[in-house]
Structure 1
């Protein structure tokens, strides 16, 4: 690759607003962060939303409002999380697609998630993959452990290519219970990625920097954001999501793979100009 796709994941479902006061949880906060991150080099935004109580929600009306606002105020590729919180039922997670984002996450298996379990049954994965294809929503296949790449091969072999006909994988590394966030594990994962696929890598917490550097060196793309880490450096909290995006953009430029524009990312991923 001659450039780098930078995805920002600004909120997530794990951090509580009282613990992380600068976490963007309202629509106004999210849109402001998105605009700043686009200016700093991001081309795609991975979105979790919060309710009026600042807790995670999959409320369809809020999701639709969020997609509309991000499209009105930015040019970013809008990707909704179908993972939600680990307690969200499958029906609610499937209904996320009714908000018609450009892209959505599609996790390839069940994984221990700290003290919780992030459940993704095979039948649910197949249903999610099929509904995305029907709606022309481009999936990002989330991989939390190496065995989930075998599930991805099984899915593609049995149920065909996704909407856009390009496979893009995000390696989520460093989750307690999932694969480690180190270069050795990233290299092992790359041996099992489908031929012709592109990949991003996400390092959770203190693994964010080693995963970022390993991904760039291996020709991969980057996901950063306060969903994944709220520490910028030892003893230093993240100021905002744009700070993380700017660092990723600087590293990508130093690697002579500068950030890709949104107009370059859409054909790369097979994302339509609008849904």
Structure 2
């Protein structure tokens, strides 16, 4: 088995210190988490920034500051920004962030962009013009079908084919099952570069199965705070280390 790329998603848009005291909220906490997770085996970071009150933010200035700090602290770690709306931001705000930050890499929920279809072409055109690598967030087969339709129409550019498949986000109790991966894979064109993340305590089992199937994987407190047996991880780095150990065992 080829070792997959491991991305860590350490916080997400909604969780706070009340959910876990080691969940990074401030920029300094995010930097420290990035360092420890990189040492534990994470190749990339999925970046969320927060405002002064700790709430989800798409502020371009905060993103630029965080990207600069991360480039200095962990220069060998790739960083992907999120454009997640989290029920707060509309598509014009998401487009503004992509335009003003011009990140190297961004994740985009295609179902969120579909809230304003007229802005879909500007969103993906801005990413193409800025050289931003796009990773489409797909929650189900309907999202995959929309991606195929927009690609056929030229809204999504040919180079913008990467996807992340999300398990368990809209399931009762946010639980995931490795058996849910194959039906989603069947909707993708052969050769598509794909990644998987999974909500709930079954996160690592799903990620291991994704690695077996040739996908990259995303782990971290955005999706799960605990191991399969319910044991709470002390921090994100512990979850990354546990996952990398399991992958090493499989490859041995």
The alpha carbon displacement at 1:160 in A equals 6.3
CA distance in 2, matches of 1:166, 1:252: 28
What does 1:169-180 correspond to in 2, within 5 Å?
169-177=163-171
Q: Which residue of the partner structure matches residue 223 of structure 2?
A: 228
Q: Is the 8 A contact 2:121 2:156 kept in 1?
A: no
Q: Which residue of the partner structure matches residue 30 of structure 1?
A: 30
Change in 2 beyond 3 A, CA 1:73/1:121: same
| 1:25-78 CA distance string (max 9 Å, x none) | 111110111111111111111111111211111222111101111111112111
Q: Which residue of the partner structure matches residue 208 of structure 1?
A: 203
| 1:151-200 CA distance string (max 9 Å, x none) | 1111222226648x363211111012599732332101111112221111
Q: Which residue of the partner structure matches residue 108 of structure 1?
A: 110
CA distance in 2, matches of 1:216, 1:140: 18
3-state SS of the aligned residue for 1:219? coil
3-state SS of the aligned residue for 1:133? helix
CA distance in 1, matches of 2:120, 2:220: 25
CA distance in 2, matches of 1:249, 1:235: 19
Q: Is the 8 A contact 2:6 2:218 kept in 1?
A: yes
CA distance in 2, matches of 1:148, 1:235: 31
3-state SS of the aligned residue for 2:12? coil
CA distance in 1, matches of 2:140, 2:188: 12
TM value normalised by structure 1: 0.82
Q: Is the 8 A contact 2:162 2:193 kept in 1?
A: yes
Change in 2 beyond 3 A, CA 1:136/1:66: same
1:198 alignment partner, one of 169, 193, 212: 193
Q: Which residue of the partner structure matches residue 269 of structure 1?
A: none
CA distance in 2, matches of 1:13, 1:156: 28
3-state SS of the aligned residue for 1:205? coil
The alpha carbon displacement at 1:140 in A equals 0.7
Q: Is the 8 A contact 1:46 1:80 kept in 2?
A: yes
| 195-204 or 11-20, larger mean C-alpha shift | 11-20
How many residues get paired?
249
TM value normalised by structure 2: 0.89
Gaps of 5+ in 2: none
Change in 2 beyond 3 A, CA 1:50/1:223: same
CA distance in 2, matches of 1:42, 1:240: 14
| RMSD of equivalent CA atoms | 2.4
What does 1:144-155 correspond to in 2, within 5 Å?
144-155=139-150
